C-alpha cells in the first residue's frame, strides 16, 4: 500500500502500514490449521464444486445446483488457491522428532512452527497479531497474514527429516523411544478416526460469509428451499472431507508401517528409504496435482499453456466486445461479474475501475471502502430489484464517485449488453465552485454532501495553488486528445478563468502539469483526483510523468554511457597510435 493512512476514524484498526482489517482479511481459520495433515478440511481452492463423485450424497434434485453454485472452499478466508499441506507422514515425523532428536534445534523449530501457525490465524488470534503489527518492523506491510505459514512449511519438514535421519542411522537408539512412536501414531490416527465418525462435532461446513448470505436469503419466500440446499451442500462437503481423512489415514498407517518394519529389521536400508521417499512423493504429488494444470490432450496431461493461451490469456466476453466498439477509448468500465478489486482481467481490454495491485494507493483504497463499494451495492440492488431502464439510469446518476471516475460502462452479465452510464462526468470538467476542507476525514465525507459535477472538494493545504478568481463558463470545453500511460494531452477553450477537475488519480511523486509548455500547479480535488486553475483562452494542457528518480537515473545513465564511449575511443586511439609508432620504428 502506497501512502500512510490519513483518515482518523476507526483508529483502532489503523497501523503504520495497512489497516488491520485489510491485513487480516486472509486469516487462516483455527480449524483450518488441520489442513496441514488433512488438505480438504475446509475444501480446496476457491471455485465451484463441479461434478465430483461426492454429489451422490446429495438429493438428486439439488445436485446440479450444488455442482454449479456450491463453493469448493468453506474456510475463513475470502478465497484461496489451495490449502497449506505439509504431508501427513511428514507431520508424524515432525512430532516424533520432538522425542527422538537430541539436537536443541528441535525446540527452536517447534517454537517457529507454533508462532507461524498462531500468526497465520490473524484476526482469529488478535492479541498476538496486534503485537506484531504494532511493534515488529514491516509486519504491517503484509497483504495476507496467512503467508507466514510458509515458515511452518519449512520448519516442519526440517525436523521431520532430522527424525528420519535419526531412524535411518541410529535404529537401536530410536527403539528405546518406541512408546513415543506408538503414542504419536495413536493420537494422530485417533484424531482422524474421530473426525471421520463425527465431522460436524468438530467443524462447520459452511463459511461465515455463506452463513451471512444464506441468512439474508432465508428471509425471502424460498426459505424452505434454501434450508434444503444448505443441508445437501453440507452433506457433499462432509463427504469430500471424509474422503480426505481416509486418504491421510492411509498414508499415515502405510508410512508408520514401513518405519516399524524397518525398526524390527524386516526392511533393509535401501528398501526402507525408497518406500518412504515414494510414499511422501505420491502423497504430495497427489495433492499438488489438484491445483496444477490438470487438462488432458489425448491421454496426456498438458504441463504448459499453449502459445495461443500465453499470448492471449483472456477471451473477451460479449459485453467486452460491445464496449470495445466505442470509438472513444478514454472511459472506464466497472465489471460487477468478477471480484472487482481482486481481478485484473477487465484491465486487459479496458480502463477499469477495479483491478489488483499489491501496492495500491492508500487513498484509492479509502475511496473503495467508503464510496465505490457502497455505490456498487446500490447498482447491484437496483438490478436485483428488477428496475426498468429509466430507474436504472436515475440510480446511475446518483453514484457521484463512480461518475467522477468516468465510469461509462457497467458489466453485470458477461453475455449481455453492458449498462451505459450517460451520467459519467467525462475525462475532465469545469466546476462552478470549490469547498476547502480541513483534513482527509472532512474531504472524504464531503464527497457525499456536495454535487461533484459542480463542486470541487479541496484540502486547505492546496489553497496557495488555486486561483480563486474564476467564473463558470457554460460554453467552455475541454477534450482529451492524446492518452499515453505517462503523458496526457488536453485541448481547452474558455472565455474566462476556469477551475478544472481531471478524472485522473493525483500522484505528486512524478506527475507534472504544463499549460502551453509552461509548468503549472496541479493539486488534489475530490480526495483522489487532479485539479488545475486554467486561464481564459485556448490552451494545450499536458500531464507528464517525470519522477525525479527517473530523470536523475537517465542523466546518470547518459553520463556513464558517454564516459564509457570516450574511454573506449581513447583506448582505440592509444592502440592505433602505438601501432603507428611500431610501424615507424620498423
Cα distances (Å, whole numbers) of residue 298 to 281, 284, 292, 295, 302: 25, 25, 18, 10, 9
Judge whether 463 lies within some domain: yes
99 shares its domain with 137: yes
State which of 288, 305, 330 marks the end of a domain. Answer: 288
Q: How many Cβ atoms are within 10 Å of 268's Cβ, its own excluded?
A: 10
More confident residue, 359 or 572: 572
pLDDT reading at 300 higher than 60: no
pLDDT at residue 119 in the model: 95
415 shares its domain with 533: no
263 shares its domain with 123: yes
Cell of 114: 507454533
Q: Any bridge partners for residue 2, and if so which?
A: 361
Alpha helices in 264-356 (DSSP H): 269-288, 307-311, 318-324, 346-349
Highest mean pLDDT among 63-77, 102-116, 287-301, 373-387: 102-116
More confident residue, 523 or 226: 523
pLDDT at residue 14 in the model: 54
Average pLDDT over residues 462-475: 94
pLDDT at residue 440 in the model: 93
pLDDT in tens, 82-105: 999 999 999 999 999 999 999 999
Whole-angstrom Cα distance, residue 159 to residue 95? 8
Please state at what angle helix 269-288 crosses helix 149-169, rounded to 10 degrees. Answer: 160
Overall size of the chain counted in residues: 586
pLDDT at residue 583 in the model: 77
Domain that holds residue 58: 19-288
Whole-angstrom Cα distance, residue 69 to residue 159? 42
467 shares its domain with 369: no
Closest listed residue to residue 122, CA positions, set 102, 104, 148, 96: 148
Specify the long-range contacts of residues 299-303, CB closer than 8 Å, at least 24 apart. none
134 shares its domain with 152: yes
pLDDT at residue 457 in the model: 97
pLDDT reading at 254 higher than 70: yes
Q: What does the mean pLDDT of the chain come to?
A: 90
Judge whether 461 lies within some domain: yes
pLDDT at residue 180 in the model: 94
Whole-angstrom Cα distance, residue 349 to residue 426? 19
67 shares its domain with 192: yes
- Using 50, 70 and 90 to split pLDDT, how confident is the model at 237? very high
Q: How many Cβ atoms are within 10 Å of 363's Cβ, its own excluded?
A: 22
pLDDT at residue 219 in the model: 79
Integer-rounded Cα Rg, in Å, for the chain is: 32
pLDDT at residue 1 in the model: 57
Between the two ends of the chain, the Cα-to-Cα distance in Å is 71
224 shares its domain with 106: yes
- State the DSSP H helix or E strand holding residue 297, giving kind and residue range, or none if neither: strand 296-297
Average pLDDT over residues 492-502: 97
Closest listed residue to residue 280, CA positions, set 302, 258, 303: 258
Cell of 428: 475532465
State which of 355, 388, 420 marks the end of a domain. Answer: 420
Closest listed residue to residue 104, CA positions, set 180, 172, 159: 159
Cell of 555: 542523466
pLDDT reading at 389 higher than 80: yes
460 shares its domain with 482: yes
Whole-angstrom Cα distance, residue 383 to residue 338? 16
pLDDT in tens, 13-37: 555 556 788 788 889 999 999 999 9
Q: Is residue 56 helix, strand or coil?
A: helix
pLDDT in tens, 531-549: 999 999 999 999 999 888 8
pTM of the model as a whole: 0.66
**φ, ψ dihedrals at 230, nearest 5°:** -60, -45
pLDDT at residue 461 in the model: 94
- State the DSSP H helix or E strand holding residue 170, giving kind and residue range, or none if neither: none
Judge whether 578 lies within some domain: no
Judge whether 573 lies within some domain: no
451 shares its domain with 400: no
Judge whether 298 lies within some domain: no
Give the up-direction half-sphere exposure of residue 42: CA atoms within 13 A in the CB hemisphere. 29
Q: Which residues have CB under 8 Å from 254's CB, separation 6+?
A: 279
Average pLDDT over residues 62-89: 91
Q: How many Cβ atoms are within 10 Å of 534's Cβ, its own excluded?
A: 25
Whole-angstrom Cα distance, residue 521 to residue 511? 11
User: What's the CATH number where 491 sits?
Assistant: 2.60.40
Q: State what percent of residues in the chain have pLDDT above 90.
A: 69
State which of 273, 288, 303 marks the end of a domain. Answer: 288
Per the structure, how many domains does the chain have? 3
Average pLDDT over residues 488-497: 96
pLDDT at residue 16 in the model: 53
Cell of 415: 453475455
Say if residues 35 and 74 touch (Cβ distance below 8 Å): no
pLDDT at residue 355 in the model: 87
Say if residues 5 and 19 touch (Cβ distance below 8 Å): yes
Average pLDDT over residues 340-347: 88
45 shares its domain with 87: yes
Q: Is residue 384 helix, strand or coil?
A: helix
Please state at what angle helix 60-69 crosses helix 223-263, rounded to 10 degrees. Answer: 80
Range with the lowest mean pLDDT among 177-191, 212-226, 377-391, 410-424? 212-226
Judge whether 433 lies within some domain: yes
Judge whether 136 lies within some domain: yes
Judge whether 566 lies within some domain: no
pLDDT at residue 222 in the model: 78
pLDDT in tens, 312-338: 788 899 999 999 999 988 899 999 998
pLDDT reading at 49 higher than 60: yes
pLDDT in tens, 440-458: 999 999 999 999 999 999 9
382 shares its domain with 468: no
118 shares its domain with 260: yes
pLDDT reading at 408 higher than 80: yes
Q: Is residue 217 helix, strand or coil?
A: helix
Amino acid at each position: 500500500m502506497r501512502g500512510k493512512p490519513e483518515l482518523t476514524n476507526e483508529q483502532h484498526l489503523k497501523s503504520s502500514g495497512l489497516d488491520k482489517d485489510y491485513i487480516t482479511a486472509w486469516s487462516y481459520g483455527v480449524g483450518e490449521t488441520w489442513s496441514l495433515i488433512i488438505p480438504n478440511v475446509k475444501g480446496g481452492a476457491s471455485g465451484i464444486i463441479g461434478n465430483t463423485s461426492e454429489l451422490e450424497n446429495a438429493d438428486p434434485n439439488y445436485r446440479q445446483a450444488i455442482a454449479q453454485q456450491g463453493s469448493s472452499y468453506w474456510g475463513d478466508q475470502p478465497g484461496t488457491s489451495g490449502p497449506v499441506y505439509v504431508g501427513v507422514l511428514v507431520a508424524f515425523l515432525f512430532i516424533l522428532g520432538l522425542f527422538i532428536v537430541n539436537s536443541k534445534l528441535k525446540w527452536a523449530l517447534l517454537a517457529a512452527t507454533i508462532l507461524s501457525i498462531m500468526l497465520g490465524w490473524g484476526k482469529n488470534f488478535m492479541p498476538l497479531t496486534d503485537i506484531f503489527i504494532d511493534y515488529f518492523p514491516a509486519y504491517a506491510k503484509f497483504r495476507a497474514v496467512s503467508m507466514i505459514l510458509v515458515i511452518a512449511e519449512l520448519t516442519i519438514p526440517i525436523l521431520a527429516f532430522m527424525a528420519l535421519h535419526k531412524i535411518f542411522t541410529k535404529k537401536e537408539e530410536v527403539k528405546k523411544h518406541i512408546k513415543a512412536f506408538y503414542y504419536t501414531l495413536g493420537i494422530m490416527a485417533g484424531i482422524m478416526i474421530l473426525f471421520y465418525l463425527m465431522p460436524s462435532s468438530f467443524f462447520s461446513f459452511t463459511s461465515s460469509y455463506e452463513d451471512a448470505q444464506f441468512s439474508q436469503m432465508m428471509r425471502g419466500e424460498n426459505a424452505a428451499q434454501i434450508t434444503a440446499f444448505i443441508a445437501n451442500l453440507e452433506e457433499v462437503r462432509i463427504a469430500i472431507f471424509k474422503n480426505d481423512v481416509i486418504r491421510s489415514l492411509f498414508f499415515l498407517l502405510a508410512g508408520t508401517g514401513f518405519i516399524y518394519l524397518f525398526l524390527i529389521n524386516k526392511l533393509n536400508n535401501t528398501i526402507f528409504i525408497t518406500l518412504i521417499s515414494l510414499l511422501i512423493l505420491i502423497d504430495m504429488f497427489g495433492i499438488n496435482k489438484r491445483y496444477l494444470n490438470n487438462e488432458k490432450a489425448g491421454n496426456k496431461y498438458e504441463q504448459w499453456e499453449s502459445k495461443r493461451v500465453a499470448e492471449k490469456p483472456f477471451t473477451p466476453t460479449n459485453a467486452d466486445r460491445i464496449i470495445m466498439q466505442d470509438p472513444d477509448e478514454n472511459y472506464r468500465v466497472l465489471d460487477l461479474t468478477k471480484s472487482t478489486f481482486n481481478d485484473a482481467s477487465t484491465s486487459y481490454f479496458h480502463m477499469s475501475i477495479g483491478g489488483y495491485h499489491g501496492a495500491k494507493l492508500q487513498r484509492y483504497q479509502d475511496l473503495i471502502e467508503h464510496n465505490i463499494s457502497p455505490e456498487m451495492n446500490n447498482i447491484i440492488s437496483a438490478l436485483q430489484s428488477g428496475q426498468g431502464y429509466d430507474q436504472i439510469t436515475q440510480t446511475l446518476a446518483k453514484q457521484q464517485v463512480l461518475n467522477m471516475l468516468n465510469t461509462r460502462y457497467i458489466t453485470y452479465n458477461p453475455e449481455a449488453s453492458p449498462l451505459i452510464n450517460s451520467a459519467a462526468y467525462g475525462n475532465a470538467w469545469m466546476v462552478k465552485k470549490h469547498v476547502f476542507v480541513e483534513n482527509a476525514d472532512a474531504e472524504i465525507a464531503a464527497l457525499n454532501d456536495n454535487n461533484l459535477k459542480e463542486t470541487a472538494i479541496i484540502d486547505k493545504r492546496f489553497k496557495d495553488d488555486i486561483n480563486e478568481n474564476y467564473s463558470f463558463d457554460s460554453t467552455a470545453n475541454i477534450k482529451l486528445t492524446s492518452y499515453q500511460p505517462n503523458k496526457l494531452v488536453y485541448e481547452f477553450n474558455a472565455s474566462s478563468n476556469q477551475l478544472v477537475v481531471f478524472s485522473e488519480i493525483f500522484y505528486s511523486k512524478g506527475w507534472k502539469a504544463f499549460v502551453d509548455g509552461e509548468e503549472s500547479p496541479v493539486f488534489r480535488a475530490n480526495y483522489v483526483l487532479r485539479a488545475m486553475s486554467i486561464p481564459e483562452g485556448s490552451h494545450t494542457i499536458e500531464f507528464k510523468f517525470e519522477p525525479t528518480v527517473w530523470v536523475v537515473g537517465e542523466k546518470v545513465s547518459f553520463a556513464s554511457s558517454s564516459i564509457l564511449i570516450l574511454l573506449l575511443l581513447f583506448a582505440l586511439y592509444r592502440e592505433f597510435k602505438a601501432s603507428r609508432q611500431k610501424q615507424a620504428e620498423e
